Amino acid sequence: MLKVGLRFGLVWFALCLVTPTLALSEFACLQILQRFANQFLAPTQIDNARALFASDVVGAIDVAGSLQGRDAAAEYLFGLFAGVAEQPDVPNLLGLPVGYNVTALTVEHTTLAATIQLDLYYKTLNQTFPVEIGGWFVLNDQGEISQFDLTFRRWAWAMDTIVPQLVPQMATLVGSQSTNATLTLQQYLGMAICLASQASCNGTNQQYSSFAACESFVFTLPVGSWDQLGDNNLACRALHVPLLQYNASSYCAAIGQSGGDFCTNRDYLTTVEHPPFTQSFLAPKFVTTENKDLVGDMSVTNGTTISPLVDLELSLTGMHSWDPTLYATFTFALTPWAVYFLFLWFCGQMTWAAFRRLSPTFRSVPKSHQRNIVMYSLNIFFTLVALGLELAAAKMMSGDYQLYQFQCVRMSGIVIVGLYTFELIFRFDMRPPLIAHHFCTIAVISYGACAMEYSQSPAIGSTAVIWLFQATTEQATFVGLLGYRMKWDPRKTSLLLKIAALQTLVVKCASAIGVLVSWGVTERRYHGPVSIGWSVIVWTLSVGLLATQFWGSYVTYMIGVRLDRKQADPNGDDAAPSRAVSHKTDIESEGGNGNANGGLPTLLERDPAGYRDDTPMSEKSNEIDSSFTRVSAGASGAKKHGSMGSQSPMSSFGERSSSLSWLVAESPEGKAE
């Protein structure tokens, strides 16, 4: 049962930690946009282009019209350039994409706004022309484009610049001697349409009875405006010629007399007032199946009050940032934080159960010390986890910043904050310096995380890595204190405690100095409100934390010294004022566990190994009375059956009175404590 519970807890905790990372990061969104731009450079790879889009993608191109479905989006955006790639030596309205530059980008959750400068190379002119494409994109959870709205900026101006240079080459191909550029263009585009119709549109897809019939019709059409390539004109039909190779049944109608669903007279009011999109691009917005009816049509218009839903949606992706009422306290989203806290409680219960089952020494100590032992064990494990995450982000200290490093250092801080908060609740008594240490550490990590995300300064992250070493390198101390409470070999425990005290002092001093140096090198020049607050935190709490670290190292070292003294003089007055070194660890305060002899351990309080038993005398009296009763009853029963001879219960108890820890450990009451 214990194993099943432990496995369940570990799996649940892992899922809660991993789930938030499954969402698309801003860097992942940028990578998707880069793949989109890269596809223009390889327009013939339509299968790769289809993978960019969701199956139900909805899109719009300002100069062409709206699109529905993955195939239409991929073929329209990239297939148009495939014809240029296949026939680069033929004059074409479109050039071959040879490069791009993402000149603008903003990402809010899964909504992107970007500007891409696309370089189009016209081989017949041996010249490259830049064209700007502005777009809004919405991504789904799989990283596919589910919605897009593209604008070819200054496209008509670009065509008015490029086409006149192509007209002489077009005239040569059609054998025209006319000086009328519009007539030459009409003849060239008409011939391209009719040749493609004869070659690709046959059978049920046939659009014209003959080549002559085709020419007769297309010459009646206007060339059209370059910013109306989705209207009933010659330019729209010519635009669809390269697409016939992908889906003749869909695109043959576009070059025919009807124009199909693509080349028809569009109404301006309808086009502008009734966009094809299933949701607005009001960003940031996270539309799900559950909230689609509420926020899918969310908008901000004149004459209306802004819906509170807008405020909610605009806050969704910012909840983890500066929020002094929630984030600065918990440094985590509420639900995962609660699950992490429950996981700590679960681990504490499992550790407690394991110690009680396997260790008689654990069962013999007071419950307050049992809690300390459990907490030492949790500290050892979870600080190791935090240290591993911190080391994974260590390159930040050298200025090598990557997203996963920020995630690791953030998670390391979360582990420590949760652990310290749980410790403040779980333990009965803690000394004021240790309480101050925990509160200062929680404040530093919380404010540091807020400052890093609010200011977007990676320098704060590198300082945080250095600072976290003060909280993630105390494993040796916890092992030593665990050995002290579990009454391991005193000599080895003493040596371990002394080494741990020196090790933590050196590491924490180095960390404190490193924090101040890092601040001076990378953060001193920033003077925003958050940066000023961070600077105050660095200089005040670093000093306060260092003071508590000196105290902690001193206490740890003196516990080791006390153990040495007990070994050297087991019967000495180690509690005399001149030699008094509190045997209390950094776990509990002094009150409540004294004895009636002015601090001198009595025979019943002293453990054979040299440790002092801190069980209150009131508890010991009850245990002695109960033990005496059990021993007396056992002796009487044995005498009745002739198994104890003349040995009296009192003599039996007297022989054992010097080892109360054995008596308590073996008694049923001791086990049930």
For residue 281, being part of any structural domain is answered with: no
Residue pair 524/643 in contact (Cβ under 8 Å)? The answer is no
**Structural domain count, the chain:** 5
User: Looking at residue 100, which CATH number applies to its domain?
Assistant: 3.10.450.50
How far is Cα 623 from Cα 616, in angstroms, rounded to an integer? 11
Predicted confidence at residue 588, as pLDDT, reads 42
Predicted confidence at residue 586, as pLDDT, reads 45
Predicted confidence at residue 368, as pLDDT, reads 87
For residue 609, being part of any structural domain is answered with: no
How far is Cα 518 from Cα 469, in angstroms, rounded to an integer? 14
Residues 58 and 180 in one domain: no
- The b/e string for 608-639 (b: 16+ C-beta within 10 A; e otherwise) is ebbbbbbbebeebeebbebbeebbeeebeeee
Highest mean pLDDT among 295-304, 468-477, 513-522, 578-587: 468-477
Residues 107 and 238 in one domain: no
Picking from 153, 181, 207, the residue at the C-terminal end of a domain is 153
Picking from 556, 578, 600, the residue at the C-terminal end of a domain is 578
Going from the C-alpha of 471 to that of each of 1, 417, 465, the distances in angstroms are: 34, 10, 11
For residue 4, being part of any structural domain is answered with: no
Highest mean pLDDT among 68-77, 105-114, 265-274, 525-534: 68-77
Whether the predicted pLDDT of 584 surpasses 60: no
Predicted confidence at residue 64, as pLDDT, reads 87
Predicted confidence at residue 292, as pLDDT, reads 59
Q: Please state, rounded to an integer, the average pLDDT across all residues of the chain.
A: 76
Residue pair 603/571 in contact (Cβ under 8 Å)? The answer is no
- Alpha helix positions (H), 276-326: 292-295, 308-316
Q: Provide the domain limits for residue 369.
A: 327-578
Confidence of residue 450 (pLDDT cuts 50, 70, 90): confident
Residues 483 and 372 in one domain: yes
Residues 516 and 661 in one domain: no
Predicted confidence at residue 234, as pLDDT, reads 92
Contact partners, residue 347, CB within 8 Å, separation at least 6? 9, 378, 381
Percent of all residues in the chain with a pLDDT value above 90, rounded to a whole number: 31
For residue 294, being part of any structural domain is answered with: yes
Going from the C-alpha of 509 to that of each of 15, 160, 670, the distances in angstroms are: 37, 70, 44
Picking from 551, 578, 605, the residue at the C-terminal end of a domain is 578
pTM: 0.54
Question: For 11-45, what is each residue's pLDDT tens digit?
Answer: 434 434 433 434 567 778 888 989 999 999 988 78
Residues 361 and 493 in one domain: yes
Whether the predicted pLDDT of 655 surpasses 90: no
Residues 164 and 292 in one domain: no
Residues 489 and 563 in one domain: yes
Residues 75 and 97 in one domain: yes
Going from the C-alpha of 556 to that of each of 95, 488, 497, 646, the distances in angstroms are: 75, 16, 6, 51
For residue 656, being part of any structural domain is answered with: yes
Whether the predicted pLDDT of 328 surpasses 90: no
Residues 100 and 247 in one domain: no
Residues 405 and 505 in one domain: yes
Residues 307 and 400 in one domain: no
More confident site: 522 or 604: 522
Q: What is the mean pLDDT of residues 491-497?
A: 91
How far is Cα 24 from Cα 17, in angstroms, rounded to an integer? 15
- The b/e string for 523-547 (b: 16+ C-beta within 10 A; e otherwise) is beebeeebbeebbebbeebbeebbe
| Residue labelled with tokens 């002293």 | 606
For residue 612, being part of any structural domain is answered with: no
Question: For 502-527, what is each residue's pLDDT tens digit?
Answer: 998 899 889 888 888 888 887 766 66
For residue 586, being part of any structural domain is answered with: no
Instruction: Show the beta-strand stretches assigned E in 425-479.
Output: none
How far is Cα 158 from Cα 364, in angstroms, rounded to an integer? 88
Confidence of residue 79 (pLDDT cuts 50, 70, 90): confident
Q: What is the mean pLDDT of residues 476-493?
A: 91
Residues 444 and 556 in one domain: yes
For residue 415, being part of any structural domain is answered with: yes
